[in-house]
Amino acid sequence: MKSRKVSLREIGSAKARRIFLEKELKIELPQISQFNFDEQEVTGRNVENLIGATQVPLAVAGPITIHSALRTMHSYIPLATTEGALTASISRGCKAISLSGGADILIENVGITRGPVFKTKSITHSKKTKDFIEKNLSKLNTVAQKTSSHLRLTKADTTIIANNLFVRFYFDTKDAMGMNMATFATDEIIKVIEAKTGAKCLSIAGNFDIDKKPAWLNFISGRGKRAWAQVTIKKDILSSILKITPEKLAEVVRVKCQLGSIASGSIGFNAHYANIIAAIFTACGQDIAHTVEGSLGVTTAEVDEKGDLVFSVYLPSLVIGSVGGGTHLPTQKEALSVMGIAGQGDVLKFAEVVAATVLAGELSLLASLAQGTLATAHKKLGRKS
């Protein structure tokens, strides 16, 4: 009689799963077995079929001086990365920015989105359903808030395509990134819409959200947080720290980030937002897949009337949280504390540091490209000879 193959989910612990895999695959997993979080706490909350943990080298960049309407601060930035030269480059940008008086930051809370799609009987039925949603947004918010006291429905956008109504609900989820909160709230809202309009939900996520995918809708309408960061760097600081002139750097930004992006059909008009976003997200317990939205944005540079460089970044879709997700994990919690992020009430502060770090990373890399030293820097710092 043929024996039944064991399912990993039937095995009751990380250790037992590792032993099973070691025997099944004839390998050893001593390093994966090392972790410092509570197995029961993460199972089902952060992961299934746990076998251990992956370690990523953790570095620190900075400090960087940051100014916003809420605060002035000097922040270090934890970066989890395997890319040599990245941390050194960001630190160089931080130094140039801080010597120039610091980065000016603006943050706008757009809200996390969830976008169901409804099947209707006709385009007229689609319009009636759309009208119902728009006229009853306050009532739908009441339904949503029954799922969480930390959530508020702020608006809804709609698009009709034949007998399909796409809806994009925006939720303020306080300090949480809030994707699960938005999903639970939308699930209850859908029940009301179906009962009142006769439209039937085909999917709670109809790609009108738009979650973890590059899209012009997120670029134009924003998602999570919108963030702006800017600094004016005196030409002598630019020369001494970054070894470049304002005119040459502004030209590279224009040709690379704007014209090169246009020529390639890119949605990101920048040098490497994703590099910085991924390193911070990995270090700080964020959903790393939201690096996709974080890669969107525009870097600009211009020379002012004094001959100094005005350098700026715009991130339309920064999806982050200072509570929830992986922020409770011991290592990630410590990394957040390096930034001065304690959790509750700190999501805007977190967004400010992320935006400033992107500014520093863009500035340093683009200066290196303009100077022609990218290959040299990676040979020196990015690999062992």
DSSP element (H, E) containing 42: helix 39-42
Q: Which residues of 131-160 are buried (b: 16+ CB within 10 A; e: fewer)?
A: ebbeebeeebbebbeebbebbbbeebbbbb
* pLDDT surpassing 50 at residue 281: yes
Three-state SS at 97: helix
Q: Which of 67, 150, 328, 378 is catalytic?
A: 378
> Quick check: 385 pLDDT over 50?
no
- Which one of the listed residues 83, 157, 172, 188 is annotated catalytic? 83
- The per-residue pLDDT for 150 is 94
**What mean pLDDT is predicted for residues 12-26?**
94
Query: Is the confidence at residue 71, as pLDDT, over 50?
Result: yes
> What ranges do the domains of the chain cover?
12-55, 58-109+224-379, 116-203
Lowest mean pLDDT among 192-206, 227-241, 295-309, 365-379: 365-379
Q: Is 293 a catalytic residue?
A: no
- Per-residue pLDDT, 41: 94
Given pLDDT bands bounded at 50, 70 and 90, which one contains residue 1?
A: very low
State mean pLDDT over 16-41: 95
Residue-level pLDDT at 168: 98
Chain segment 3-13, per-residue pLDDT in tens: 567 788 789 89
Catalytic residue among 150, 188, 287, 328: 287
Q: What percent of the chain has pLDDT over 70?
A: 96
pLDDT at position 380: 64
Per-residue pLDDT for 360 more than 70?
yes
CATH architecture of the domain 116-203 equals 2-Layer Sandwich (3.30)
Instruction: Check pLDDT > 50 for residue 193.
Output: yes
pLDDT at site 269: 98
Burial call 53-78: b when 16+ CB within 10 Å, e when fewer? beeeebbbbbebbbbbeeeebebbbb
Residue 302's contacts (CB-CB under 8 Å, 6 or more residues apart) are 250, 309, 310
Tell me which architecture the domain covering 58-109+224-379 has in CATH: Alpha-Beta Complex (3.90)
pLDDT at 384: 57
pLDDT at position 225 over 70: yes
pLDDT at 330 over 90: yes
- Catalytic: 378? yes
pLDDT at 2 over 80: no
Give yes or no: 290 in active site.
no
Q: Residue 220: pLDDT above 90?
A: yes
Predicted local confidence at residue 106, as pLDDT:
98
CA-CA-CA-CA dihedral for 195, 200, 206, 210, to nearest 10: -20
Tens digits of residue pLDDT in 136-186? 999 999 999 999 999 999 999 999 999 999 999 999 999 999 999 999 999
